[in-house]
Chains A and B, each alone.
Chain A
Amino acid sequence: EAAVTQSPRNKVAVTGGKVTLSCNQTNNHNNMYWYRQDTGHGLRLIHYSYGAGSTEKGDIPDGYKASRPSQENFSLILELATPSQTSVYFCASGDSGGERLFFGHGTKLSVL
């Protein structure tokens, strides 16, 4: 089973501060994704990547940047965090389009 590890598991940030969420996968998958989930709702795609050095905008990219420095690592960056970005963030990886995804345990972010 593919392993997707997110850090930190919980984060409290102040409005206007910079936040970096990290994701590491050990199964050599090409594709990685960042989603957010708000209470009572499904997941929404923020950014994704097809491989090292590539990042693409998802459905809700505003206020977020992404970085894919290597095959294993994919980061989500909030340069100026806002309370509306309080959410649970999930990272996922997959081998290629049309295959099932493997998710991390999520990062609960609170922006005060």
Chain B
Amino acid sequence: GQQVQQSPASLVLQEGENAELQCNFSTSLNSMQWFYQRPGGSLVSLFYNPSGTKHSGRLTSTTVIKERRSSLHISSSQTTDSGTYLCALERTNTGKLTFGDGTVLTVKP
């Protein structure tokens, strides 16, 4: 089965609403990373988060290793947040990542 599962597959919000994106994994991990993929295709690293909670502006990432899950919370969403959010699991300390299929977020004005 797939080692990294993301949910929901897609999400539509009105501007100002909050979003909670989930990532569940079935193997042990060294770290978890979250990426934002622009509609044009390039990827931007949002968080490198092996465990615990990290904040960056309106974004919060929480990884709970013993529960094998990581989440990305977006508060007060904006239309510019639209795009695909990918989580990626690093199994060993090698930089090799296993990606989930992503959550496609659409924020409407």
Contact = CB atoms under 8 A, between A and B. Distances in A.
Interface of A: 31, 33, 35, 40-45, 48, 58-59, 88, 90, 92, 94, 96-106, 108
Contacts of B40: 105
A69 B42 CA distance: 25
Given A43-B86, A105-B42, A106-B41, A96 B95 contact: yes
Interface of B: 4, 30-31, 33, 35, 40-45, 48, 50, 86, 88, 90, 92-102
A33 B43 CA distance: 14
Contacts, number: 68
B99 A42 contact: yes
Contacts of A98: 30-31, 50, 90, 93, 95
Nearest to A48: B96
Instruction: Determine which residue in A35, A44, A96, A101 has the highest number of CB atoms from chain B within 10 A of its CB, and name it.
Output: A101
Nearest to A41: B101
B2 to A, nearest CB: 9
B101 A42 contact: yes
A98 B89 CA distance: 11
B90 A97 contact: yes
23 contacts: A31-B94, A31-B95, A41-B101, A42-B86, A42-B88, A42-B100, A43-B86, A44-B99, A45-B96, A48-B96, A97-B30, A97-B93, A98-B30, A98-B31, A98-B50, A99-B48, A99-B95, A100-B48, A101-B33, A102-B45, A103-B45, A105-B42, A106-B41
A104 B31 CA distance: 21
A43 B95 contact: no
B95 A103 contact: no
